[in-house]
């Protein structure tokens, strides 16, 4: 089983749509989780951390289900500028290393 | 404040050549990382360092070497380049362990082709 599994997409959605991505991870010892965003041919950038209780940052909501070992990201009211690849990133048990998923590509159309 | 700077941006190597990818950061970050990203794939960790003088192997270290003689610099050395090393290489840094929630700051990447 891969350490991190994500649906590669692409998810093609119209502006204003709500879209959700899921990610499963295999290391039950992972303590911290993140979503990074990567634009085409650019470096990844931290989008948000994922807390046990779930957290929201504007139009973005992240949730963690430890029992099922999956993480989700919900984007509401999609904008053209949200078009990117979203990387699911669990930290190793020591926190020193991050394991990046292959990402889910989102394309928002006018 | 330049952040994480990688040089060169692009490079073409012939099989068997060697080169060093440079990475420097001016944020006084302790943790530094080298990742590679093949087309359509996720980032794979090559080597990392939790402080000057300390380096550790990541997931795909074969064919690479690193050193961390200063806090600022973390060069990646390719010896005997092979076509399988064609990839985009990202250097990243963080003040403390990224698992604590601090963001990894990435450089712009080095696009390497080995032919």
pLDDT band, very low/low/confident/very high, at A98 (cuts 50, 70, 90):
confident
Q: Which long-range contacts (CB under 8 A, 24 or more apart) does B16-19 make?
A: B16/B80, B16/B81, B17/B80, B17/B81, B18/B77, B18/B78, B18/B79, B18/B80, B18/B81, B19/B77, B19/B78, B19/B81
User: Buried (b) or exposed (e) across A22-45, using 16+ Cβ within 10 A?
Assistant: bbbbeeeebebbbbbbbeeeebbe
Q: Using one digit for the tens of pLDDT, what is the confidence trace for B80-97? A: 999 999 999 999 999 888
What is the spatial distance between Cα A103 and Cα A49, in angstroms, rounded to a whole number? 16
Q: How far apart are CA A94 and CA B20, in angstroms?
A: 29
Give me the pLDDT at residue B2, please: 80
* Residues paired with A60 in a beta bridge: A57, A75
Provide the pairing of β-strand A84-90 with B4-7.
Answer: unpaired
Query: Mind listing the pLDDT tens digit for each residue in A75-89?
Result: 999 999 999 999 999
CB of A93 closer than 8 Å to CB of A31: yes
Which residues 44-103 of B are in CB contact (within 8 Å) with A? 44-45, 48, 50, 58, 90, 97-101, 103
CA dihedral A39, A42, A43, A46 (to 10 degrees): -20
Query: In this model, does residue B53 exceed pLDDT 90?
Result: yes
Residue A1 has pLDDT above 80, yes or no: no
Pick the range with the lowest mean pLDDT from A8-12, B16-20, B21-25, B100-104. Answer: B100-104
Q: Which residues of A touch B90 (CB under 8 A)?
A: 43-44
Cβ contact B99–A102 (<8 Å): no
Q: What is the Cα–Cα distance from A71 to A29, expressed in whole angstroms?
A: 14
Q: What percent of chain B has pLDDT over 90?
A: 85
CB-nearest partner of B104 from A31, A98, A103: A98
- Substitution target in A39, A43, A99, A102 with the highest count of B β-carbons within 10 Å is A43
Of A106, A20, A19, A4, nearest to A63 by C-alpha is: A20
Among candidates B42, B97, B106 on the partner chain, residue whose Cβ is nearest the Cβ of A101: B42
From the list B50, B100, B107, which residue is nearest A32 (CB)?
A: B100
Predicted confidence at residue B1, as pLDDT, reads 64
What proportions of chain A, in percent to the nearest 5, are helix, strand and coil? 5, 50, 45
CB–CB contact A44 B90 (8 Å): yes
Q: Which residues of A touch B106 (CB under 8 A)?
A: 43-45
pLDDT tens digits for A15-61? 999 999 999 999 888 888 899 999 998 999 999 988 787 899 999 99
């Amino acid at each position: 089983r891969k350490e991190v599994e994500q649906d590669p997409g692409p998810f093609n959605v119209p502006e204003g749509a709500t879209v959700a991505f899921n990610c499963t991870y295999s290391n039950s010892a992972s303590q911290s989780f993140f979503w990074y965003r990567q634009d085409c041919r650019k470096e990844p950038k931290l989008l948000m951390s994922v807390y046990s209780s779930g957290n929201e940052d504007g139009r973005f909501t992240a949730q963690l289900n430890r029992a099922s070992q999956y993480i989700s990201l919900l984007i509401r009211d999609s904008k053209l500028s949200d078009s990117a690849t979203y990387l699911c990133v669990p930290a190793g048990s020591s926190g020193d290393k991050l394991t990046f998923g292959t990402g889910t590509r989102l394309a928002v159309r006018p | 404040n330049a952040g994480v700077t990688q040089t060169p941006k692009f490079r073409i190597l012939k099989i068997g050549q060697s080169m060093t990818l440079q990475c420097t950061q001016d944020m006084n970050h302790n943790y530094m990382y080298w990742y590679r990203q093949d087309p359509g794939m996720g980032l794979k960790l090559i080597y990392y360092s939790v402080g000057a003088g300390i380096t550790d192997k990541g997931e795909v270290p074969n064919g690479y070497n690193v050193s961390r003689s200063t806090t600022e610099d973390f060069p990646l050395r390719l010896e005997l380049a092979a076509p399988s090393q064609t990839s985009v290489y990202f250097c990243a840094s963080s003040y403390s362990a990224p698992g604590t929630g601090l963001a990894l700051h990435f450089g712009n990447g080095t696009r390497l082709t080995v032919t």
